[in-house]
Amino acid sequence: MSANIPWTQISFNPLTGCTPYSDGCLNCYAKPMATRMSFNPDPKIAYKYRNGFKLTEHPAELEKKIGGKNKIVFMNSMSDTFHKNVSESFLFGIFDFIRKHPKHIFQILTKRANRLSIIRDYPSNVWLGVTVEKSDYLDRIECLMNTNATVKWINCEPLLGPVESDKIQSLDWVVVGGESGPNCRSMNMDWARQIRDICEEHDIPFFFKQAGGPGRDKGGKNLDGKTYKQWPKSISLDMSRSVIQLSLFNVDAA
């Protein structure tokens, strides 16, 4: 399905449902969306979300094919791939699926970084990320660095406090965004500036998604009047074209 997230193109969900894990989960976007999907007029979609936001594995999804090439796919945007209730066999199935789609990039993002070591050999077309919403969760970066993933990234969304660490210097990509929605917690722009400055100093691609605020994009998408939509450096030339189109699309959609 197409994703309304500017740092990806499409999402693919062999898992649905989750449970809160840390501060960033308070206003989880996936939970109300799963409830809405369970009432979708399309019976196939309604069936997929029959359990609402309860963690559910969908083995049939792993039999599907994602056509074309050079797509950036957010794997499990409606769950957390490394949730404790995801069986190891299903987890291995997800990574087999990724290996069968070498022409696409799969973004995986988790807060359950302690389970990352279950996968010993990450496929080279995975961008493996952990959420770090404030400095309390820096240990997730350590777990990430212990993997062999080709692209390691952090998503500081929603950014809820400073993220102060020299570990940022070892990353391949950093995404920052403030929380939006009626109950959003505001982001101090200095927290975002601090991360951006570390990225600039160490030549790490930096993507600023949004400042956040009570309405969608209320705070705007710029940081100090500038747009930051940088991508990991390791992408191929073909993929770069796709990414450039994606950036243009997202600028236009702003």
Positions in the binding site for ligand SF4 (CB under 6 A): 18, 20-21, 24-25, 28, 30, 79-80, 111
Q: Which is nearer to ligand SF4, 85 or 147 (CB)?
A: 85
Q: Which is nearer to ligand SF4, 175 or 199 (CB)?
A: 175
Q: Which is nearer to ligand SF4, 79 or 180 (CB)?
A: 79
Q: Residue 52: CB partners within 8 Å, gap ≥ 6?
A: 17, 34, 35, 38
Half-sphere exposure of 101 (CA within 13 A, CB side): 25
Q: In angstroms, give the least distance from the CB of 253 to ligand SF4.
A: 23
Q: In angstroms, give the least distance from the CB of 23 to ligand SF4.
A: 10
Q: In angstroms, give the least distance from the CB of 227 to ligand SF4.
A: 26
Amino acid type, 13: N
Q: In angstroms, give the least distance from the CB of 238 to ligand SF4.
A: 31
Q: Which is nearer to ligand SF4, 30 or 246 (CB)?
A: 30
Q: In angstroms, give the least distance from the CB of 83 to ligand SF4.
A: 7
Buried/exposed code over 177-197 (b: 16+ C-beta within 10 A; e: otherwise): bbbbbeebbebeeebbebbbe
Q: In angstroms, give the least distance from the CB of 78 to ligand SF4.
A: 7
Task: Please give the Cα distance from 88 to 80 (Å, whole number).
Answer: 14
Q: Which is nearer to ligand SF4, 127 or 228 (CB)?
A: 127
Long-range CB contacts for residues 65-69, cutoff 8 Å, separation at least 24:
65/101, 66/10, 66/12, 66/101, 66/104, 68/103, 68/104, 69/103, 69/104, 69/238
Q: Which is nearer to ligand SF4, 137 or 206 (CB)?
A: 137
Task: Please give the Cα distance from 68 to 77 (Å, whole number).
Answer: 20
Give the tokens for residue 105.
Answer: 């990039």
Amino acid type, 115: R
